[in-house]
Structure 1
């Protein structure tokens, strides 16, 4: 085994890796000791050290690094890893010495124990190990800490770059000359060893920590190489030279690093002072207040920019000038006195004088000044606006005492401290009577505590309030005042004073109320008129939307009011309206609104509804109340009412829509017989719009030949569904809207009377078509024609014309079947019975359409000689074995057959429905299973195909 000793050629007094490792520990978080051990162990193996020796040395290196790290934290918890202060180097110096001892002792004894280091060399090995670790930490650790950030400005410009290159070149040349005998002949007898300190000084002053540490690393590296090669001053005797080299490095490192750090600390202090000076200058020059420095003779030495803004002069025009030159003549004596006090070292505070502005005006300046070292330091403020405000306050005091409006001032506790003469004139109270009292002595009690709470809340949050207050004079008379209250605050935001200014508006208020009443109320009934009604309805609708409530609107119209008005006179009509208004108000809550729109029309707004039932209850109560007799003078009158009801938001959310819908519902009630109420439905509005539109086009449609007759086959269920009949169905082929179905216009045609002309036209079209098909296909072919109940109530002789028309065509009377609704049989009108009997007498057959859906009177079936019953499709659509619909169909068929009446089932859509009906004995069937309604040309094709099959 190779023995290491202090004279071993492989040993060194400069061990850089431990210094680098310590720097990494100081700058990084986490455990890196495995890396230190591994790196040191690998280095030992590279140098052909035995495994145990390499392991012992690696362990010692790791112990040293972590001991150094712990000692740094122990000595200086505020150690700065940026390495900026001399104290950081001192801490590192102490740490390097102590940790070097720990590492040297532990590692050397480990090597001695392993037999690597002989006992006689143990002390030398300890010393040598300690020296290498100390220099490694003193140079290596600062170098890594500092050089992890590259230096700034070394190559900023050509001159600086030349100096930097020169320094780096000399940093290599001087160590080479010193330690490797390069250029030594050039120096002669002059020892270049001392030149190194000049280089160190240059680096410290010009290149700081980076320059010094760079030089130290180069010196250590080149010096060690020179000794190892046997060159240079320190290589004359390797052992002594190595020790001398160590001392040389130690002194150089201590001197260079401390010098660089002290210079760096000085630069930092100077930079901090410079920044502080700049900060003070910035504040001085940009402050909103006025700052100045003057001598005791009164000449400005320095001023900030605020002076230029306040006085209008440039700083050059003010600097060096005596400030008395700018002072108002009246203020010069007081200013001289203030300067005398300053000369006596007495501070002058809150001194006020006037300075001339460049435009000739005067500015009020308030001063705080002290004298020190022959100079006056002053801080001042422009209070010109404040002085103007004080003048305005004095003027306001004059106005206050002579104002025609009452004024009152209270303190922060709301106690009266001042009133003016107008206050006394209005209220009757003098100042001694109200001084120190709360303004509540004027309270009339007319306004609720909530009103005053809201007023004080606004006053507290905004500092001001205005509005109308009912107060009481000293003689107990109540009056109305319009008052404006403003708060004067202290600088800290607390209340200083409150000022109330008011005027008596009692008479004005009475006039306004009368005008408002006349504009918003009906003078006869004293109910809200249309204007106020619409306003309240708008407000209620806003609440409905905001609070998600329900509102009901009742539109009330008196029935037969015109009879009372015309029969008993207008005065009795007015009396009736007054009594009606009282009864209406008695039927609703106080929160509801009853209004008269005009004439005999009234409305009721029912707000905050929980359900529709309450509105119906109100409507029934109104109907009951108005149905009671009215005593009008010596007469008794009876009226009733028709009521329309609409809801918001269900029906409408706009005022006009809601009124219109309630009005439509009211007319629906009238149309149903009066003395009842109706709810608005969307159908009402659609009905109105359609009625207006379609009614205008119906007559033009007939004249313009826009109608067409479609035919739906009726088959004989007993003869394999043979087509033997057809039902004539009208279609409106509109030039713009296309096909319009009968359900959309028949009712309107009935209401407008156009149904008579349309019905007559359909009959004649069907009769002509029946004649043609009888000639071409079936000699007994029948066509059914629907006849509206409205056609039976007219006074015309259309029913006679129909029989005459069939005779003109030379057709059997039973070629046409007239279909009617079963409700028509119950109509006891003379016209209905007369026309039905006419059909019976002239052989025109009659069919009851939609049988089973209305009121059936069996006696009338024989009275009017009914030939066919048409089972409504609502029964046929749900046919199933054992169903009630099947039982009803069977019952109708049996009953009809017992009475000698044929049965036609409508709405057959499936084969199962057809089979059930056929099994029940139904005679005829009609529905989409067989065919939909179709034009005559398509129907002829159906008959042609049937004829071809039969032939």
Structure 2
């Protein structure tokens, strides 16, 4: 009993003892310290004098039910001190029975955890709210956004995420100081919050960056009036002491579930749209384009596949012969890239090259084509097949400042291949990019011995200008004109005109897309002797070209007359 009395007196926890009717018969010093009631004041009273009114009658009913049925109850409750202040306690109430099982006392042992709870709440507030504006921070924003996204799925509704950046806020900070800048942020945060609906979330995620989550939208466009109110709230003048300042805002919007990504990606997409709004002139909104983003993502994926294809040697060159329709001589071949895709099979250039037209990858692929064609010519020359090869070069690669230097290095790597055996075909549209620069570049490369051809000639707007200003040795008539010369008088006139121009400017001319003997006869009649096309041969792997040239030479001695096979293709 002596030990028990000592514990009762000196315990840090408050202890109260009541009789079976609930009348307090004793309390310890800690009880008085916590509640403010002296021992003499509280003895004889009911613990109800401490009630704060925060707990409901149902709370006390559940508490007494546990005490009666289980003999004890533990939990938290708010009580009131003598001075009227509230405190939170963690308490255990136990029923004490004698040896016969009769109820003798109730003992309550409690600790004041008010300060600990306040500290916990302050830490939680710091963790979830912006210190300056009191708005939710990024952590709480994502929590609420994920909840709203789940709600959208349940209700088949939409939400909008708006990323807002204040225009010109940096200048305010620089001119008036950070203290006034902070006041500006507080004032604008309050205004923007007032412009929103009750269930919307406005969060501060950066210095002058805010995010709004607008949930429960009946339709995708229902966010627009809310965003317009935000723009107005952000652009109204703010009076701060002697200064009246005015800013504006750029807002990027993305919509869920139209933009079916996770919360983090939604924020990035809204941020991306915000930058579009800034670039468009600020003080406006821009909506994230899901389709455009998907196309860009697909383009990035194709770019990565092409990089990998270069590393894994998945590209190959096929060669389409060029012949002289009058003499039957094989005068060269065009190198055409193919992609041996691991899952899609052999791909023609039209299925992947457009994706890198204006990308540095086109330079890497273009250099690979030139290097591979030169290496192949070296092998053919060693076998006795002296054939010229043309390769296509795009505008991006041409306009690279190091093109001529890289070309010279590639030529030096194959010293047994005379430079004049390499012909570079450039699209007529490529020359439009910078005609003066390309003309200078062509002359530089021609000084190395390389030849040039203008590909797809006739498809541009200023063909005569190109022919006058660009020093190409060869003009290549586009197959779209050649293919229909038998049936379309306009195409026939265009082809005749191109041949006449080439003759007048002393250029060689070659027709692509020659499919039948009839095409060849018309071209010869117009003065065009050089041709390539399916009617002569389809593009073939490098390994097949030597045998094809031998078969062609055996079947078509030079100078033999033009004739037709049974399938209508050209023969001699």
Bin for the TM-score computed over the shorter chain: 0.5 to 0.7
Describe the superposition over 1:491-546 as per-residue Cα deviations: whole angstroms up to 9, x where unpaired.
Answer: xxxxxxxxxxxx99998887665443322122234332111011112211221232
Aligned counterparts of 2:228 and 2:255: Cα–Cα separation in 1: 15
Aligned counterparts of 2:237 and 2:490: Cα–Cα separation in 1: 52
Aligned counterparts of 1:512 and 1:585: Cα–Cα separation in 2: 27
Where 2:22 maps in the other structure, the secondary structure is helix
In the alignment, structure 1 residue 398 sits paired with structure 2 residue 23: yes
Aligned counterparts of 2:199 and 2:231: Cα–Cα separation in 1: 20
Residues 447-526 of structure 1 correspond to what in structure 2 (within 5 A)?
514-526=122-134
In the alignment, structure 1 residue 835 sits paired with structure 2 residue 438: yes
Aligned counterparts of 2:243 and 2:222: Cα–Cα separation in 1: 37
Q: Which residue of 2 aligns with 1:188?
A: none
- Aligned pair partner of 2:152 in 537, 544, 551: 544
Where 1:607 maps in the other structure, the secondary structure is strand
Where 2:320 maps in the other structure, the secondary structure is strand
After superposition, the Cα gap between the structure-2 partners of 1:550 and 1:757, relative to the gap in structure 1 and judged at 3 Å, is same
Q: Which residue of 1 aligns with 2:544?
A: 938
Aligned counterparts of 2:496 and 2:233: Cα–Cα separation in 1: 54
Aligned counterparts of 1:768 and 1:812: Cα–Cα separation in 2: 15
Q: Which residue of 2 aligns with 1:598?
A: 206
Q: Which residue of 2 aligns with 1:651?
A: 260
Q: Which residue of 2 aligns with 1:29?
A: none
Aligned counterparts of 1:629 and 1:837: Cα–Cα separation in 2: 57
Residues 226-265 of structure 1 correspond to what in structure 2 (within 5 A)?
none
After superposition, the Cα gap between the structure-2 partners of 1:534 and 1:848, relative to the gap in structure 1 and judged at 3 Å, is farther
Q: CA RMSD in A?
A: 6.8
Residues 694, 748 of structure 1: 8 Å contact kept: no
Residues 524, 578 of structure 1: 8 Å contact kept: yes
Aligned counterparts of 1:756 and 1:946: Cα–Cα separation in 2: 35
Instruction: Give the drift of 1:426.
Output: 5.9
Describe the superposition over 1:260-297 as per-residue Cα deviations: whole angstroms up to 9, x where unpaired.
Answer: xxxxxxxxxxxxxxxxxxxxxxxxxxxxxxxxxxxxxx
Where 1:395 maps in the other structure, the secondary structure is coil
Residues 476, 511 of structure 2: 8 Å contact kept: yes
After superposition, the Cα gap between the structure-2 partners of 1:730 and 1:467, relative to the gap in structure 1 and judged at 3 Å, is farther
After superposition, the Cα gap between the structure-2 partners of 1:682 and 1:395, relative to the gap in structure 1 and judged at 3 Å, is farther
Q: Tell me the number of residue pairs that the alignment of Structure 1 and Structure 2 aligns.
A: 467
Residues 143-162 of structure 1 correspond to what in structure 2 (within 5 A)?
none
Residues 315, 340 of structure 2: 8 Å contact kept: yes
Where 1:713 maps in the other structure, the secondary structure is strand
After superposition, the Cα gap between the structure-2 partners of 1:836 and 1:636, relative to the gap in structure 1 and judged at 3 Å, is farther
Q: Which residue of 2 aligns with 1:798?
A: 404
Residues 871, 903 of structure 1: 8 Å contact kept: no
Describe the superposition over 1:139-179 as per-residue Cα deviations: whole angstroms up to 9, x where unpaired.
Answer: xxxxxxxxxxxxxxxxxxxxxxxxxxxxxxxxxxxxxxxxx
Aligned counterparts of 2:139 and 2:131: Cα–Cα separation in 1: 13
Residues 167, 247 of structure 2: 8 Å contact kept: no
After superposition, the Cα gap between the structure-2 partners of 1:572 and 1:421, relative to the gap in structure 1 and judged at 3 Å, is same
- Aligned pair partner of 2:453 in 820, 841, 845: 845
Aligned counterparts of 2:278 and 2:228: Cα–Cα separation in 1: 18
Q: Which residue of 1 aligns with 2:317?
A: 710
Aligned counterparts of 1:769 and 1:547: Cα–Cα separation in 2: 64
In the alignment, structure 1 residue 533 sits paired with structure 2 residue 145: no
Instruction: Give the drift of 1:815.
Output: 2.9
Q: Which residue of 1 aligns with 2:96?
A: none
Where 2:23 maps in the other structure, the secondary structure is helix
Where 2:20 maps in the other structure, the secondary structure is helix
Aligned counterparts of 1:692 and 1:555: Cα–Cα separation in 2: 30
- Aligned pair partner of 1:728 in 335, 352, 357: 335
After superposition, the Cα gap between the structure-2 partners of 1:672 and 1:506, relative to the gap in structure 1 and judged at 3 Å, is same
Q: Which residue of 1 aligns with 2:394?
A: 787
Residues 251, 277 of structure 2: 8 Å contact kept: yes
Residues 480, 505 of structure 1: 8 Å contact kept: yes
Residues 121-136 of structure 1 correspond to what in structure 2 (within 5 A)?
none
- Aligned pair partner of 2:161 in 546, 553, 570: 553
Aligned counterparts of 1:591 and 1:788: Cα–Cα separation in 2: 54
Describe the superposition over 1:350-408 as per-residue Cα deviations: whole angstroms up to 9, x where unpaired.
Answer: xxxxxxxxxxxxxxxxxxxxxxxxxxxxxxxxxxxxxxxxxx996253369999999xx
Instruction: Give the drift of 1:611.
Output: 4.4
In the alignment, structure 1 residue 815 sits paired with structure 2 residue 423: yes
Highest relative contact order (Cα 8 Å, sep 6+), 1 or 2? 2
List gaps (5 residues or longer) in structure 1: 1-391, 407-419, 428-441, 444-451, 485-502
Q: Which residue of 2 aligns with 1:760?
A: 367
Where 1:606 maps in the other structure, the secondary structure is strand
After superposition, the Cα gap between the structure-2 partners of 1:950 and 1:648, relative to the gap in structure 1 and judged at 3 Å, is same
Instruction: Give the drift of 1:783.
Output: 1.9
Q: Which residue of 2 aligns with 1:140?
A: none
Aligned counterparts of 1:395 and 1:734: Cα–Cα separation in 2: 87
Q: Which residue of 1 aligns with 2:562?
A: none
Residues 713, 724 of structure 1: 8 Å contact kept: no
Residues 714, 925 of structure 1: 8 Å contact kept: yes
Instruction: Give the drift of 1:834.
Output: 0.5
After superposition, the Cα gap between the structure-2 partners of 1:624 and 1:771, relative to the gap in structure 1 and judged at 3 Å, is farther
Describe the superposition over 1:800-844 as per-residue Cα deviations: whole angstroms up to 9, x where unpaired.
Answer: 846994997445488331237x3x5554xx6x6402443278462
Instruction: Give the drift of 1:666.
Output: 5.2
Residues 375-386 of structure 1 correspond to what in structure 2 (within 5 A)?
none
Instruction: Give the drift of 1:871.
Output: 6.5
After superposition, the Cα gap between the structure-2 partners of 1:786 and 1:826, relative to the gap in structure 1 and judged at 3 Å, is closer
Instruction: Give the drift of 1:469.
Output: 12
Where 1:598 maps in the other structure, the secondary structure is coil
Instruction: Give the drift of 1:625.
Output: 8.6
Instruction: Give the drift of 1:645.
Output: 3.2
After superposition, the Cα gap between the structure-2 partners of 1:688 and 1:425, relative to the gap in structure 1 and judged at 3 Å, is same
Describe the superposition over 1:642-662 as per-residue Cα deviations: whole angstroms up to 9, x where unpaired.
Answer: 84736337522x434544665
Residues 803, 813 of structure 1: 8 Å contact kept: no
After superposition, the Cα gap between the structure-2 partners of 1:694 and 1:895, relative to the gap in structure 1 and judged at 3 Å, is closer
Aligned counterparts of 1:589 and 1:741: Cα–Cα separation in 2: 55
Where 1:536 maps in the other structure, the secondary structure is helix
Aligned counterparts of 2:198 and 2:120: Cα–Cα separation in 1: 25
Where 2:438 maps in the other structure, the secondary structure is helix
Aligned counterparts of 1:934 and 1:516: Cα–Cα separation in 2: 71
After superposition, the Cα gap between the structure-2 partners of 1:425 and 1:624, relative to the gap in structure 1 and judged at 3 Å, is closer
List gaps (5 residues or longer) in structure 2: 1-16, 36-44, 67-73, 92-110, 503-508, 558-572
Residues 122-521 of structure 1 correspond to what in structure 2 (within 5 A)?
395=20, 397-398=22-23, 423=48, 514-521=122-129
Residues 782, 817 of structure 1: 8 Å contact kept: no
Q: Which residue of 2 aligns with 1:364?
A: none
In the alignment, structure 1 residue 679 sits paired with structure 2 residue 306: no
- The structure where helix makes up a greater share of residues is 1
Where 1:594 maps in the other structure, the secondary structure is strand
Residues 201, 212 of structure 2: 8 Å contact kept: yes
Where 1:844 maps in the other structure, the secondary structure is strand
Indicate the larger mover: 549-558 or 564-573: 564-573
After superposition, the Cα gap between the structure-2 partners of 1:782 and 1:551, relative to the gap in structure 1 and judged at 3 Å, is same
Residues 317, 541 of structure 2: 8 Å contact kept: yes
Structure-2-length-normalised TM-score: 0.54
- The structure where strand makes up a greater share of residues is 2
After superposition, the Cα gap between the structure-2 partners of 1:898 and 1:739, relative to the gap in structure 1 and judged at 3 Å, is closer
